[in-house]
Structure 1
Amino acid sequence: MSVTYTCKRVAAAFRDGDDVVYALGEVTYESNVYPHTRHLSTTFIGKLPDAIKTVFAFAADTCGGDLNSPDRKMTPERYIKSALNALKQPLPLDPDMPLHISSWDKETVDRILNTLQERGTPAILRNHYDVPRINWFVKLPFSDEGRPLLEPCPDLGYQPKKSAELPQVNFGKVLKLRPSSDNWFVRIDADGKILGRPEWQYRILGDYVSSIWETELTHPGSYKKLIPAFRDYLRDLPQSDVLCVLDPGTKYYGVDEMIAKYGDGEFLLSSVDQEDLYKIYAALKSVREV
């Protein structure tokens, strides 16, 4: 399986009236593509809230190793810290740069060109930075190695005052289920309805990381404590026995077989044969603690 190695996070910005528009970039290479040539990609362009949301979404990808650093020690906290540091000192981005739209992805190109034509304004960045995937066509003022080509502009930087208060995060209740090939976890709401689906530990952690971006906006710096605390919480969580209900509407194979075997009402997870667990987890509708 290919791993994307991220070597550096960079940022640029320009002012649009009372707002600042940020562009995020990342220097990466793929583990299974040789030679390992580093390349700078523009991964996002837009206003601050969506920039922070994007940072936390990418940080979540480090939980399972799909996104890693060359030293193979990348963590969500490390990723977020480096991205926020880049946002503190962005390089100036020319809002009047012309947009040259061309790509192998004809559908995306046609959609963008149609949007630009409908708007009827010049094809420059300040007029169209909000068009989905326009970041593909924005060149940042960095080399492919991430070396800055201009002086930073701290006046455009995101430099919030760190919050001393640790906020409460509404992520739902997490239960640790019987292991199949690995430990499984599930999130439930107050009624026992499953949020998402049962997942392995790294995916639950990733879901948590991507969910706290708004908390970071209201309580800057809180990720530094929230993420390690949640990681420890998952590690120490005792296994729960639960009453399960399957969803006959799921499209996952084996659900009819499992309903025939365990019924269409509640049944104890501890009564399930080990070889059936992965099918049960794929078809769960709700759980209730015993």
Structure 2
Amino acid sequence: MSSSVRRTRSVVLTVSKLFKCRSACIIGTQHNRYYSQSVAAELSETPEKWDLVGAMYLERLPVITPPLRKIEKRYKEYRHQIEVENSLLSDYEIAKIQEEDRLALQTKNVLDTPLHLRNVPVQTMQDREEIWNKELAEFSPAPRVTEADESGDMKSLDRKLDQTLVLLVKQKIDGKEYWYLPMLQYIAGTSMRQVAEQAVANTCGADLKIQTFGNAPSGYQLKMYNKELQEDTKAKGRKIFIYKAEYRSGLVTPSKDSVLDYVWVAPSELRQYVGRTTSRIFNKFNIY
């Protein structure tokens, strides 16, 4: 009888402990639920408002290849040597060798050649190569350094042909003059891509033709307002969604109302216009 009583007591104690643990878990869960609801209520009472802006990173891709570096030149010469050593003769080279053998045979057996064929002028492959070499010597390629490079014309698309150029416009924003990408505040009822494209049209004219890549932005940047501007706009700052586009044709016709100046700059020149932090963000978009 004593053993059965002990077993009954142990079972009762175990069940009571389980009920205590369960009630503690329920209380803790309810407490966490009430705490999360209170935090959400506090956040909803003081939301952070941001001004949404669409901007366009417009680039002109390189027109010519950049000059080769030393290691690239050495590798190019090495690959060319291997290809020459392992390659077979082309059809032109085979025909040239056959022609040389035929001409040597005709010169040796000149008496066997008919009289009406002895003085007939024949243009050989050697003659053609001499004409081609003469044309090549007279050809002069266009210079890599253009007049825009020499004069320092920052508004010309003919400068730095071997590098990517990015369009920057100088605008008066919040009472101060800034160099930045063409941008425009969000317009209700339109997509952010349309806002970015409209920013280019408003600042640079409708003659400029571009090709935008994708409907999603390529990046973003946060610009915090000062205290006075935060009180005036009731916003914490500006969220700028940056889209990427490629220049196709046309010229920049800056708007007299909103654009003070514009430049086409290389990635290495971005820092002196937009600062170190912004230039780092822009250089992430540059591929070439």
TM-score by length of 1: 0.22
More helix, by proportion: 2
Rg (Cα) greater in structure: 2
Q: Which has the higher contact order (CA 8 A, sep 6+)?
A: 2
